[in-house]
Structure 1
Amino acid sequence: MGRLRAKSDYENLRNARISENQARLASLGLEKTASDLHSIISSTKPIKTPIRKYQKSIYDRTCLRRSDRLKGKPADPKLTLTDKIGLSERTRPMPRRLFNRGDDEEETRPANAPFLSIHPSELQLPPDVLARRCDSKSRGSVYNSILGICCHFCRQKKLCGEEDCKRCGNGDIDQPCIGKTDCSVCHSSNGILCRACLKVRYGEEMEKVRNNKKWMCPHCIEDQGLKPFWICNSSICLKKRKIAPTGIAIFEEAREKGFKSVAHLLMDKLKQAEGRRSQS
């Protein structure tokens, strides 16, 4: 009986406190305010986040793919398979084609001036594109699938930002791109580097490379054994060596440690790794 009475007293005290609190809230008008807020929230419609429409960035006015099927044109039934292959090869770069410099002698065409057999109208660049071409001298700021030369490291097929480049500025396909390097030994795509990648990744200046007619790319330097532990640090070449690509942040590490470029830092790491293997 004592426990039931104690419980009843507790419930009475609790109910009395609840009544006091409700009376206090009613005197302050908080119950009405809460009900008003609930009504406002229930009456308002949820705000919908606007969905942005995807817009493809257009870098220039040259079409990236020139397939008649993509343009919606009907296929010509008279064209044979051989004709179709010939049409597709008209715009294909041919870096090993003989290159005539104006005299009677012909030599191997440089990799930074690949041969293109295309209609002259496709080489005409709009004035706004030409105005933006020199905004960035390091890699160039205008992508062009026809005149642009692909860098071996950054793989950006952009027009160079050099003011005197006749290929990127005037559309002269018989002239080399002076904003891209060309290896004097292999004349291949492995030796094509833009100004920024040449400086940051290998510690060389474009002006010196341009004036050096015997300049060799990192691949040829390694093949001839001129610099021990000197390798190409592009992601393509590092993956072939089963080495993880270095990324962008490694340049800060190379600069903080006093190295001239990323290639010099990797060369030092490879030397140290070889020394540890020989000692073990």
Structure 2
Amino acid sequence: MGRLPAKIDYENLRNARILENQARLATLGLQKTLSELRSEASSRKPVKNHFRSYTKKIYGIETLRRSNRLKQIAAERTTISKNTDKLRRSDRLGRKIKVENEKENPISGKVVVYGDGKESEHSGGSEENSRPANMPLVKMNGKEFRQPSPESSSRRCNSKGRGSVYDPVFGISCHFCRQKKLCGEEDCKRCGDFDMDQPCIGKTDCSVCHSNNGVLCRGCLKVRYGEELEEVRQRKDWMCPHCIEEKGINPYWICNSSFCLKKRKMAPTGIAIYRAKEMGYESVAHLLMDQLQKSIMRKR
């Protein structure tokens, strides 16, 4: 019997709280029921898609508006297309065209090398073309000759094997290392005094072909073929590996430069002297000679 008044008090407090909340909602204008809100939402117009539909824009046939800068660029392109001499060309194509023009119209101010085993501009059986490959004749033809600096000349003999000073005009390229350097021999008058009538004693010359195939520096001659330059100088009948192979003197003795090995469809050896020394061979050429001989014997 004692709990009933407590329950009645709770009900009264709950009802009073509900009436208070309803009055508060009425003052805020939120007295609409859920059904009323749904009916209003259904009566509204449907919302369109946020993405606009694509419509192709058709332009007229009148000319487009362009800025003055674009008009100027278009005019310049039209002028360049009419005048082909003003086309942009790469440096490589520019040099190629320049060389062709010089061949057709020889002018002064260029360097011409005769007797280096390459195709020269001088035709006929003249003395220039009959020179050995280690004594090419360089004609300046009006081009200014610049004497190497004393510091460069002092460094020439620092490396006796392949030379220390690179010279694109007077340097003679080795067939193997292709280093166009002045030789490191102290008594070489060509590389020291630039005397074109003297051969380079730091480069070899084949007694048969007198071509670039027989031009080897001291270092490559020793490492790749096991020969000493002093002995080659004394031998007037010294032949390069190409001529030895053509003559059939030693069929297994070949040139092991990257150019010649690729022509034989063989991979270049790279730095193979260390492997050749470990296996007991005198040079890389002796190693390849033994390998070729063994491979031919296996095929037989």
Q: Same fold (TM over 0.5)?
A: yes
Which amino acid letter does the alignment assign opposite residue 144 of structure 1? D
* Cα distance in structure 2, aligned partners of 1:256 and 1:82: 51
Tell me the equivalent position of 2:164.
Answer: 141
1:125-136 alignment, distance < 5 Å: 125-136=148-159
| 1:109 maps to 2:131 | yes
Cα contact 2:203–2:217 (8 A) shared by 1: yes
| 1:237 maps to 2:263 | no
| 1:255 maps to 2:277 | yes
| 1:92 maps to 2:103 | no
Q: CA deviation at 1:120?
A: 8.3
* Cα distance in structure 1, aligned partners of 2:239 and 2:180: 21
Which amino acid letter does the alignment assign opposite residue 94 of structure 1? G
| 1:217 maps to 2:240 | yes
* Cα distance in structure 1, aligned partners of 2:193 and 2:289: 40
Cα contact 1:124–1:171 (8 A) shared by 2: no
Displaced runs of 4+ in structure 1, greater than 2 A? 80-100
Cα contact 2:110–2:143 (8 A) shared by 1: no
Cα contact 1:113–1:173 (8 A) shared by 2: yes
Q: CA deviation at 1:82?
A: 5.9
Cα contact 2:109–2:143 (8 A) shared by 1: no
Query: Kindly tell me: are residues 185 and 230 of structure 1, through their superposed partners in 2, closer, same or farther at Cα, counting changes over 3 Å?
Result: same
Cα contact 1:147–1:173 (8 A) shared by 2: no
| 1:268 maps to 2:290 | yes
Q: Which stretch of structure 1 is more off in the superposition, 90-99 or 170-179? A: 90-99
* Cα distance in structure 1, aligned partners of 2:145 and 2:113: 14
Cα contact 2:202–2:218 (8 A) shared by 1: yes
Cα contact 1:98–1:109 (8 A) shared by 2: no
Query: Kindly tell me: are residues 272 and 88 of structure 1, through their superposed partners in 2, closer, same or farther at Cα, counting changes over 3 Å?
Result: farther
| 1:195 maps to 2:218 | yes
Structure 1 gaps, min length 5 = 1-69, 71-79, 101-106
Comparing both chains, which one has the higher relative contact order based on Cα–Cα distances under 8 Å and sequence gaps of 6 or more? 1
* Cα distance in structure 1, aligned partners of 2:107 and 2:259: 30
Cα contact 1:143–1:158 (8 A) shared by 2: yes
Deviations 1:88-139 (A, max 9, x none): 8742343367549xxxxxx931100111111585262221111000000000
SS in 1 for 2:267: coil
Deviations 1:190-211 (A, max 9, x none): 0000000000000000001111
Q: CA deviation at 1:245?
A: 0.1
Deviations 1:152-197 (A, max 9, x none): 0000000000000001000112211100000000000000000000
Cα contact 2:162–2:217 (8 A) shared by 1: yes
Q: CA deviation at 1:87?
A: 4.5
1:20-35 alignment, distance < 5 Å: none
* Cα distance in structure 2, aligned partners of 1:208 and 1:236: 26
Cα contact 2:218–2:229 (8 A) shared by 1: yes
Query: Kindly tell me: are residues 184 and 89 of structure 1, through their superposed partners in 2, closer, same or farther at Cα, counting changes over 3 Å?
Result: farther
SS in 2 for 1:158: strand
Tell me the equivalent position of 1:181.
Answer: 204
* Cα distance in structure 2, aligned partners of 1:94 and 1:208: 24
Q: Which has the larger radius of gyration?
A: 2
Tell me the equivalent position of 1:38.
Answer: none
Aligned-residue CA RMSD (Å): 2.3
Tell me the equivalent position of 1:55.
Answer: none
Give percent identity, aligned residues only: 58
Cα contact 1:201–1:261 (8 A) shared by 2: yes
Paired residue total:
193
Structure 2 gaps, min length 5 = 1-90, 92-100, 118-124
Cα contact 1:123–1:147 (8 A) shared by 2: no
Query: Kindly tell me: are residues 127 and 257 of structure 1, through their superposed partners in 2, closer, same or farther at Cα, counting changes over 3 Å?
Result: same
